[in-house]
Amino acid sequence: MSPVIGAPEGVHLRAGDSGQARAQVRLAGGPLPAGTYDLVARITAQQGAGQAGLAGGSVDVAAGSPAELHARIVHGGGTLRFDATLAGSAGAEIWIDQLHIDPAPVP
């Protein structure tokens, strides 16, 4: 069974018996120009607890307590792809929503 369940409002990611899940996310909407981007997403543990990751950023999640994940992405241009991961107990499940990607501020 796939660890990913999609919906227009977000995505569920469910850990298998090992307590691990990994999926590759591909940003829809066409290619992005090369540059540095900030990714922000809300992650809520639906069942169990663990550590969720997106694009190299990570956050601890516990059932019922949303957490905000931040990651900085250096992108070479084209279709943006990154990993979504979950490490927790067997059957742990997270809901990922309110994801947005913005150009990073120039120092």
Please state, in angstroms and rounded to a whole number, the distance separating the CA atoms of residues 23 and 41.
16
- pTM to 2 decimal places: 0.86
In Å, how far are 26, 79, 89, 99 from 29, measured between CA atoms? 10, 9, 34, 14
| Domain boundaries, position 73 | 4-103
Indicate the length of the chain as a whole number: 107
The answer, yes or no, to whether residue 1 has pLDDT greater than 80, is no
Q: Bigger pLDDT: 25 or 43?
A: 43
* Number of compact structural domains in the chain: 1
Q: Are strands 20-26 and 81-88 parallel, antiparallel or unpaired?
A: antiparallel
Q: Which CATH number is 90's domain given?
A: 2.60.120.260
The answer, yes or no, to whether residue 107 has pLDDT greater than 80, is no
Please state, in angstroms and rounded to a whole number, the distance separating the CA atoms of residues 105 and 36.
9
44-90: pLDDT as tens digits: 999 999 999 999 999 999 987 899 999 999 999 999 999 999 999 99
